[in-house]
């Protein structure tokens, strides 16, 4: 950590200037798992892979972008979506309704941000209502704008920001790629497609190492990253710079601090906390190891509001564990004196990284397709990559309204689905089977029919099945199965959800829905819990 970083994202003053090797070893092999609030295989993900806003409509093409005044004086202060009249309009983030007038809604968000939605038809909210990211607030209507704005049916969206912190809002052009929804991007199933890599291990250092080793990084590169973390925070997600190991400082107490905070000591702490909150992530998730690893991985991929792609590229170019430790320290941490490659801090970080590799390398997962892609073994992560992070996806034809990731993978990993017609996209059993096949967790899982699947769960010998468990005993990746329905528990997810499911279309109860977020229910009564035994 250092105070000379080109971008004040990670660091401050180093927590541990000279960490003896014996302490490093203790941190690696000891029990520093107490601050892993997520405690899950694959916890919450930023709902939109680091995008600050959810889409305001189901129409994701910006048909008229922001335009500064041209030579003829024409301008467009906002963005237009060519949404049909009556289409759903959603809040792009958590906030409070502050104004409803002239077919327009205004929502106040945290950190001096306001969003405005114009040309609405039916208003679904009222002033002072609290809304969550993705909540429907209205239906779109029709209106005629001056050129180059759209005319007729469309939604006009504006972003207003208090740039000078003086109470005055300024209409601002949203950054490119500001919007997105989990599962609706152009991901191909490679590393980076969902919530991240393997999060198993006896302590936080091993969990972080396994995470990056299964997210597209070599074992040497993963060790280089974790070697730096050890010297930044002892891999403690709730650690505030200057506080002792083991003390948890929650986001609400750290957000306005100028000090570093979290596993890589984001500096000031609000640099990471504020955009996470703006993306609809709650504080309990932000302080979890899983979420912070996801956030860091996305930074290194060039995502999130504070991208660090150059640092990620430098780490991925490293061939040895020592080079990886230096690359992460120099290009990501940017501590004081990091341009001097003879700086003693590099010696310390390389030593820690080598110890990480020698301690954990033999049993680490392979990088392969990444922690959430095909073959990753991560049931919960794959489920979240295939399902919508919000409920309510009941529109027909269902094949057109599943997530892009589900569209790309459904027929490949559920061989009998194509002959079953459009209704197959809503089949709960096919969704669970697709996840089990795609993740590689159980290639033999029956394609369809919950009675067949339940019999398989109880008789194959691969699962432990419990009829009397409750929600408190669930772990991400658990299968819930009962008469006529089955779904997956995934752990903490966006918007407070913790499960993913499809629901078969039919008269009882009908209509169905494609895979989407939900919450665990009737555990130990209607639904038994099936957990894949560890190999």
Q: Which of 54-68, 174-188, 215-229 has the lowest mean pLDDT?
A: 174-188
According to the model, what pLDDT value does residue 370 have? Answer: 38
According to the model, what pLDDT value does residue 384 have? Answer: 86
* 3-state secondary structure at position 47: coil
The yes-or-no verdict on residue 389 having pLDDT over 80 is yes
Residue 458 structure tokens = 């109880």
Q: How far apart are alpha carbons 294 and 50 in whole angstroms?
A: 9
Give the mean pLDDT of 464-484: 93
Q: What is the pLDDT of residues 17-55, one digit of tens each?
A: 344 454 455 555 543 333 332 222 222 333 333 467 888
User: Of residues 15 and 186, which shows the higher confidence score?
Assistant: 15
* 3-state secondary structure at position 25: helix
With CA atoms as reference, report the closest residue to 369 among 384, 355, 381, 360: 381
Q: Which of 298-312, 368-382, 473-487 has the lowest mean pLDDT?
A: 368-382
Q: How far apart are alpha carbons 451 and 19 in whole angstroms?
A: 57
With CA atoms as reference, report the closest residue to 464 among 532, 523, 527: 532
Beta strands in 400-512 (DSSP E): 463-466, 479-482, 485-489, 499-503
Residue 129 near residue 48, CB atoms below 8 Å: no
With CA atoms as reference, report the closest residue to 120 among 150, 79, 86, 76: 86
Residue 386 near residue 406, CB atoms below 8 Å: yes
- pLDDT tier, 380 (very low <50, low <70, confident <90, very high otherwise): confident
Q: Which domains does the chain have, with CATH numbers?
A: 21-51+189-363 (1.10.530.10), 62-172 (2.70.70.10), 379-532 (3.90.1720)
Give the mean pLDDT of 187-195: 33
DSSP per-residue string spanning 206-231 = HHHHHHHHTTT--HHHHHHHHHHHHH
Sign, CA dihedral 470-475-476-479, equals negative
CB atoms within 10 A of CB 104: 17
Q: Which of 20-29, 90-99, 505-514 has the lowest mean pLDDT?
A: 20-29
- pLDDT tier, 278 (very low <50, low <70, confident <90, very high otherwise): confident
Helix or strand (DSSP H, E) at 519: none
Cis, peptide link before residue 509, omega less than 30° from 0: yes
DSSP per-residue string spanning 277-301 = HHTT--HHHHTSHHHHHHHHHHHHT
User: pTM score, two decimals?
Assistant: 0.44
Backbone angles phi, psi at 364, to 5 degrees: -75, 150
Q: What is the pLDDT of residues 194-229, one digit of tens each?
A: 444 555 667 889 889 988 887 778 889 999 999 999
Lookup result for tokens 């004081």: 336
Looking at the chain, the whole-number percentage of residues with pLDDT higher than 70 is: 81
∠ CA 298-302-304, rounded to 5°: 55
Q: Which residues pair with 529 in a beta bridge?
A: 466, 480
Q: Which of 5-14, 284-293, 312-321 has the lowest mean pLDDT?
A: 5-14
According to the model, what pLDDT value does residue 367 have? Answer: 39
Residue 327 structure tokens = 């690359």
Residue 410 near residue 425, CB atoms below 8 Å: yes
Q: Which of 178-182, 315-319, 353-357, 515-519 has the lowest mean pLDDT?
A: 178-182
With CA atoms as reference, report the closest residue to 312 among 212, 384, 403, 412: 212
User: Of residues 14 and 326, which shows the higher confidence score?
Assistant: 326
Give the mean pLDDT of 403-420: 88
Sign, CA dihedral 241-283-225-298, equals negative
The mean pLDDT of the chain is 81
- pLDDT tier, 332 (very low <50, low <70, confident <90, very high otherwise): very high
The yes-or-no verdict on residue 433 having pLDDT over 80 is yes
With CA atoms as reference, report the closest residue to 304 among 79, 20, 7, 42: 7
């Amino acid at each position: 950590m250092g105070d000379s970083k080109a971008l004040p994202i990670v660091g401050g003053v180093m927590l541990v200037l000279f960490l003896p090797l014996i302490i490093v070893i203790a941190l690696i092999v000891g029990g520093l798992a107490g601050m892993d609030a997520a405690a899950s295989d694959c916890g919450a993900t930023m709902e939109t892979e680091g995008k600050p806003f959810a889409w305001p409509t189901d129409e994701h093409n910006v048909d008229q972008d922001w335009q500064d005044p041209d030579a003829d004086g024409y301008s467009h202060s906002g963005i237009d979506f060519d949404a049909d009249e009556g289409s759903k309009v959603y809040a792009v983030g958590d906030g409070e309704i502050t104004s409803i007038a002239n077919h327009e809604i205004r929502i106040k968000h945290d950190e001096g941000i306001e969003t405005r939605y114009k040309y609405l038809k039916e208003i679904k909210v009222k002033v002072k209502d609290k809304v969550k990211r993705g909540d429907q607030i209205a239906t779109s209507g029709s209106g005629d704008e001056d050129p180059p704005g759209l005319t007729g049916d469309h939604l006009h969206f504006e972003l207003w920001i208090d740039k000078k912190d003086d109470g005055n809002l300024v209409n601002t052009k949203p950054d490119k790629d500001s919007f997105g929804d989990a599962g609706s991007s152009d991901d191909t199933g490679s590393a980076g497609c969902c919530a991240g890599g393997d999060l198993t291990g006896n302590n936080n250092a091993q969990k972080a190492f396994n995470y990056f080793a299964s997210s597209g990084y070599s074992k040497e590169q993963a060790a280089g990253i974790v070697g730096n973390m050890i010297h930044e925070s002892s891999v403690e997600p709730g650690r505030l710079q200057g506080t002792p190991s083991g003390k948890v400082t929650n986001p609400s107490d750290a957000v306005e601090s100028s000090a570093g905070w979290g596993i890589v000591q984001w500096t000031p702490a609000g640099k990471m906390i504020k955009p996470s909150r703006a993306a609809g992530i709650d504080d309990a998730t932000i302080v979890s190891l899983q979420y912070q690893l996801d956030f860091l991985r996305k930074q290194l991929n060039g995502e999130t509001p504070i991208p660090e792609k150059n640092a990620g590229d430098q780490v991925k170019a490293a061939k040895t564990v020592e080079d990886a430790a230096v690359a992460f320290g120099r290009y990501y941490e940017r501590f004081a004196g990091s341009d001097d490659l003879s700086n003693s801090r590099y010696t310390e970080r390389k030593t820690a990284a080598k110890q990480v590799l020698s301690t954990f390398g033999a049993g680490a997962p392979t990088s392969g397709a990444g922690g959430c892609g095909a073959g990753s073994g991560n049931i919960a992560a794959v489920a979240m990559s295939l399902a919508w992070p919000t409920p309510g996806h009941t529109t027909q034809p269902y094949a057109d309204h599943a997530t892009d990731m589900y569209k790309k993978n459904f027929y490949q990993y559920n061989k009998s689905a194509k002959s079953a017609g459009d209704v197959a996209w809503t089949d709960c059993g096919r969704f669970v089977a697709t996840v089990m096949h795609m993740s590689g967790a159980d290639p033999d899982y029956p394609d369809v029919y919950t009675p067949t699947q339940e019999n398989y769960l109880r008789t194959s010998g691969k699962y432990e099945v419990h009829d009397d468990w409750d929600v408190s005993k669930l772990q991400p990746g658990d299968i819930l199965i009962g008469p006529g329905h089955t779904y997956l528990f995934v752990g903490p997810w966006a918007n407070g959800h913790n499960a993913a499911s499809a629901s078969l279309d039919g008269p009882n109860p009908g209509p169905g829905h494609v895979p989407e977020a939900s919450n665990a229910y009737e555990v130990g009564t209607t639904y038994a819990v099936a957990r894949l035994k560890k190999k």
